[in-house]
Amino acid sequence: MKNIILVILTSILITSCCTIVSGKRQKITINSNPDSAIVKLNGKPIGVTPLCGRFNRENAKYILLEKNGYVSDSTAFVKDDNWWLLGNLPLFGLFSSPIGFLIDEHTGAWCRIVNKKIYIELKKE
């Protein structure tokens, strides 16, 4: 009986692999030509190019670059499943805990941003 309880507790405690291994933020680099363009994340200013920062995987939707004398340009973040999500699958084929999937979904760690290096060439007006 103790072994069964130990296996169940262990399977619950080692879940949420995405959150534990890769976290809910991801490093993204944003560059432009010309430099010093204003970077807006989901419409809110966050800095100027070149910019390197850690972005919340789930909340990052798109970036917009603006600079006087140039046409503004934007790009959406491309997302894919985080392979660490597979760590929530059954432990040795015995148990699968939905807790890990729920934690990874709640923190946003279930996904990864594919376009980690963004370069935008701004065109003159």
The pLDDT value recorded for residue 48 is: 96
The pLDDT value recorded for residue 97 is: 61
Burial of residue 48, with CB atoms counted within 10 A of its CB: 0-12 exposed, 13-18 middle, 19 or more buried: middle
User: What are 87-120's pLDDT values in tens digits?
Assistant: 666 654 455 567 777 777 767 777 778 888 999 9
The pLDDT value recorded for residue 16 is: 63
Mean pLDDT of successive 10-residue segments in the chain (125 residues)? 66 63 85 95 94 87 95 90 69 59 73 87 94
The pLDDT value recorded for residue 22 is: 76
**Residue 13 CB contacts under 8 Å (≥ 6 apart), including other chains:** none
Q: How confident is the prediction for the chain on average, in pLDDT?
A: 81
